Amino acid sequence: MNANIISALRITLLSILLVCAAAAQTLTLDQTSLTHGGTVNVTFKDASKAGQKVVIEIVSGGVFPKRDVLSITLDGNGVGVSKWVVPAWDAASFHGPGAPAVSVACNP
């Protein structure tokens, strides 16, 4: 095979792998706005971590941010859900391993 074709195939395969790896982890909430004292379902998906426990860090923001953690056990498909009780924060930002952060407002 031509060296240029081999190089192009390698770049294409690497690009596909990177896209798949980037999309492998997802973090979602069942609400777009939270209420103090209410609950929200936090869902984390990562097939490569099936059967494992993951830790979600939740940060309030502001000058002196508050932090909380939520532990989620993933099932055999790599999916897990856990409830979180919303404290009296202005906003919450959820961070899971390898997943894009999710930020939402918290209302009284």
* DSSP symbols for the chain: --HHHHHHHHHHHHHHHHHHHHTS-EEEES-SEEETT-EEEEEEE-GGGTT-EEEEEEE--SSS--EEEEEEE--TTSEEEEEEE--S-SEEEEE-TTSPPEEEEEE-
Q: What's the pLDDT tens digit per position in 54-101?
A: 999 999 988 899 999 999 999 999 999 999 999 999 999 999 999 999
Task: State the pLDDT at residue 3.
Answer: 58
pLDDT higher than threshold 90 for residue 1: no
CATH architecture of the domain covering 25-107: Sandwich (2.60)
Structure confidence by residue, pLDDT tens digits, 4-62: 555 555 666 555 544 444 458 999 999 999 999 999 999 999 999 999 999 999 999 88
Residue ranges of the domains in the chain?
25-107
